[in-house]
């Protein structure tokens, strides 16, 4: 149905809900660690070509691709492909990075109204008891703040959840908090001083986390990506900032 011509408007209307559903399904599939040679579906590729075999993970990813193409979001498909997003999504340890790549693509190519519709769907999931939903929604949330109109949303204190995440013991949650704060730091506004202080706190906690847990190259790379905007926003002569940096 998603790829049926004439259904694009309906798919776009339901897109936020469908997107979260199919990506949640991807995470549940890869967590089960299915065998790569387990064929659950074969797709005909035209005369003279052998059918393409899909394992459970490939099927789950194909559902995401079908949704994006059915909605007409081909630029997002291209961006995710170019940035290894599908490989990241299919890895249990890098799934959240894949979510951020999809989000980055949408930030680049979607209108603000569409981003806000997705953002609003995330709010009830941020503190979900389901760990899968929590990681997925927080990865979306942190990277959607890359867009200025989302970061400056008037209906929500977007900084408050991020400050809580950097206090959590899970290094991925701390990293998502760090990424969100670094994205907020890119935008000018009346909350900039609060963001500066939070940036210093977040970076300090993340460094302690690195020393304690010895994370792998994926988390190290994400820390480096967040470092530049954090270093920029930490510049200044505000007395509160200096006080925090000395603690």
pLDDT, tens digit (0-9, with 9 covering 90-100), for 99-149: 999 999 999 999 999 999 999 999 999 999 999 899 999 999 999 999 999
- For the entire predicted model, the pTM comes to 0.80
Taking alpha carbons only, the member of 172, 170, 181, 236 closest to residue 203 is 181
75 and 27 fall within a common domain: yes
Name the token pair of 161. 């959840």
Give mean pLDDT, residues 226-245: 52
How confident is the model over 193-204, as pLDDT tens digits? 777 777 777 767
In this predicted structure, what is the pLDDT of residue 245? 37
Question: What are the residues facing 54 on neighbouring strands?
Answer: 41
How confident is the model over 180-190, as pLDDT tens digits? 988 888 787 76
Among the candidates 134, 154, 174, a domain finishes at 154
118 and 17 fall within a common domain: yes
For 41, phi then psi, to 5°, come to -160, 140
| Segments forming the whole domain that contains residue 126 | 1-38+52-154
- The structural domain count of the chain equals 2
When comparing pLDDT for 35 and 22, which is higher?
22
Task: Assign 236 a pLDDT band (cuts: 50, 70, 90).
Answer: low
DSSP 123: G
């Amino acid at each position: 149905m998603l790829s049926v011509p004439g259904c694009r408007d309906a798919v776009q209307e339901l897109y936020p809900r469908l997107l979260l559903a199919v990506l949640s399904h991807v995470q549940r599939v890869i967590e089960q660690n299915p065998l790569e040679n387990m064929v659950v579906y074969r797709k005909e590729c035209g005369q003279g070509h052998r059918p393409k075999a899909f394992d459970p993970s490939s099927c789950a990813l194909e559902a995401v691709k079908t949704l994006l193409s059915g909605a007409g979001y081909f630029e997002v498909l291209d961006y995710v492909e170019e940035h290894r997003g599908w490989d990241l999504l299919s890895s249990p340890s890098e799934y959240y990075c894949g979510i951020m790549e999809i989000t980055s693509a949408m930030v680049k190519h979607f209108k603000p109204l569409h981003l806000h519709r997705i953002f609003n769907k995330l709010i009830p999931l941020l503190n979900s008891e389901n760990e899968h939903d929590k990681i997925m929604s927080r990865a979306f949330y942190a990277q959607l703040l890359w867009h200025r109109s989302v970061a400056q949303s008037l209906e929500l204190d977007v900084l408050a959840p991020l400050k809580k995440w950097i206090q959590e013991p899970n290094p991925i949650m701390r990293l998502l908090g760090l990424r969100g704060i670094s994205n907020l730091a890119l935008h000018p506004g009346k909350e900039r001083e609060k963001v500066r202080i939070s940036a210093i706190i977040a970076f300090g906690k993340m460094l302690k986390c690195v020393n304690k847990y010895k994370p792998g190259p994926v988390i190290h790379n994400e820390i480096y990506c967040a470092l530049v905007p954090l270093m920029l926003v930490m510049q200044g002569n505000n007395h509160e900032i200096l006080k925090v940096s000395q603690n």
